[in-house]
Chain A
Amino acid sequence: MKFSVYRYNPDTDDEPYMQGFEVELRQGMMLRDALLAIREQDESFTFRHSCGEGVCGSDGVNVNGSNKLACITPLTELKEPVVVRPFPGRPVVRDLVVDMSQFYTRYKQVDPWLIRKEPMPEREILQSPEERDKLDGLYECIMCGCCSTSCPSFWWNPDKFLGPQALLSACRFLADSRDQAGEERLDKLEGPYKLFRCHTIMNCVEACPKGLNPTKAIGHIKAIMLKDAI
């Protein structure tokens, strides 16, 4: 199978370039296996990966124009030549490795932890099954970054727009019956940038390898805000 892979080493290359590779297919091969095979051919080729089963979220890359997790993308689903690039809009550290610090900063901005105003009880804070159900589709995010780096609004304003990943997390804590900082969370999303740069483009929904729906979560936050405001 033919591959065209983005190469850039800031120490030695003036400009990024695409390099062709040929990899022999095996049964059940995922894109990550092909990237490993490419590294055997050229050990200077660099990419992030770890668990190999779509849990750690390390090996998000742009494949034939869409952001995917390499470890759970079967090669049989991809058209030849497979064009593999780093996430769009992120500074490239080397080859497929990008600097995700801005993405993590946006995540930190939504205070992604439970906030209690009452004193902590001696034992666990119980939830009804219905309350627990509200977290489904929100808590499963592995922060691979496929959604935010496929979002045009995040490309244009990554310093101000929180992006689908952080907003999904904001919704996750707004939806949690144990959290007591809903008002403050909504206040923190105020203004035209943090939340309202979302124009429902829905690239995030298409990109999410876990099948989550950040657009729906953002709509949910807007609905809570509206209910709160009128």
Chain B
Amino acid sequence: MSRRASGLRAWFLQRASAIYLLLFILYVLQHMVLDAPNDFAAWRGWVAQPLVGLGLLLFFASLLLHAWVGIRDVLIDYVHPTAIRVTILTLIGFALIGCALWVLQIIFLAS
């Protein structure tokens, strides 16, 4: 990836992920209003549907990506010493990857 894309790519991904997050949240909200699962089995059944599972995976991928770009932006703005910035970015990177693995585990155990 060229250096140019590191600005443009992050900016574009932030916006694209935001749109997906909004659409998926709207879908989940309407599902919760119209057809809310009322027990654990119903929840599992809902998540186990291939399309819902895929949608959820994309949702969390977008969420983590969106969080990564946003946190990176905040750090670039406010945290100037390189060592501190790299340390925080690394810790947050690991935390986000941990969240991603956790999400995968939950979704694949359900289906």
A190/B4 in contact, CB under 8 A: yes
- Residues of chain A contacted by B8 (CB below 8 angstroms): 190, 196, 222, 225-226, 229
Instruction: Chain B residues near A225: list those with CB within 8 A.
Output: 4, 8
Task: Kindly report which residue of chain B lies nearest to residue A153, judged by CB atoms.
Answer: B77
Residues of the B chain whose Cβ atoms lie less than 8 Å from the Cβ of A229: 4-5, 8
Contacts of A199 in B (CB 8 A): 73
- Confirm or deny: B108 has a beta carbon within 8 angstroms of a beta carbon on chain A: no
Of chain B, the residue at the smallest CB distance from A229 is B8
Q: How many residues of A contact B (CB 8 A)?
A: 20
Q: How many A-B residue pairs have CB under 8 A?
A: 46
Partner of A222, one of B2, B11, B77: B11
Interface of A is mostly: loop
Contact A197:B77 (CB < 8 A) given known A192-B10, A226-B8, A226-B12: yes
- CB <8 Å contact, B7 and A195: yes
Q: A176-215 toward B: CB 8 Å interface, digit per residue (1/0)? A: 0000000000110111111111010000000000000000
**Chain B residues in 8 Å Cβ range of A19:** none
Interface residues of B in 8-27 (CB under 8 A from A): 8, 10-12
Whether B76 lies near A190 (C-beta < 8 A) is no
B40 adjacent to chain A (CB < 8 Å): no
Which of B4, B5, B72, B77 sits near A157, CB closer than 8 Å?
Answer: B77
C-alpha gap A229/B1 in the complex (Å): 11
**B7–A190 contact, CB under 8 A?**
yes
A113 within 8 A of B: no
B105: Cβ under 8 A from any A Cβ: no
Query: How far is the CB of B83 from the nearest CB of chain A, in Å?
Result: 18
User: How near does chain A come to B29, taking the closest CB pair, in angstroms?
Assistant: 26
Q: How far is the CB of A12 from chain B (nearest CB, A)?
A: 33
A17 interface residue per 8 A CB criterion:
no
Is B12 within 8 A of A196, CB to CB?
Answer: no
Other than the given A157-B77, A193-B76, A226-B12, 14 more pairs (CB < 8 A) read A152-B77, A156-B77, A157-B76, A187-B4, A190-B4, A190-B5, A191-B3, A191-B4, A191-B6, A192-B10, A192-B72, A193-B7, A194-B7, A197-B76
Task: Give A contacts to B, CB under 8 Å.
Answer: 152-153, 156-157, 186-187, 189-197, 199, 222, 225-226, 229
Which positions in B face A, CB cutoff 8 Å? 2-8, 10-12, 72-73, 76-78
Question: 6 A-B contacts, Cβ less than 8 Å apart?
Answer: A190-B3, A190-B7, A192-B6, A196-B8, A222-B11, A229-B8
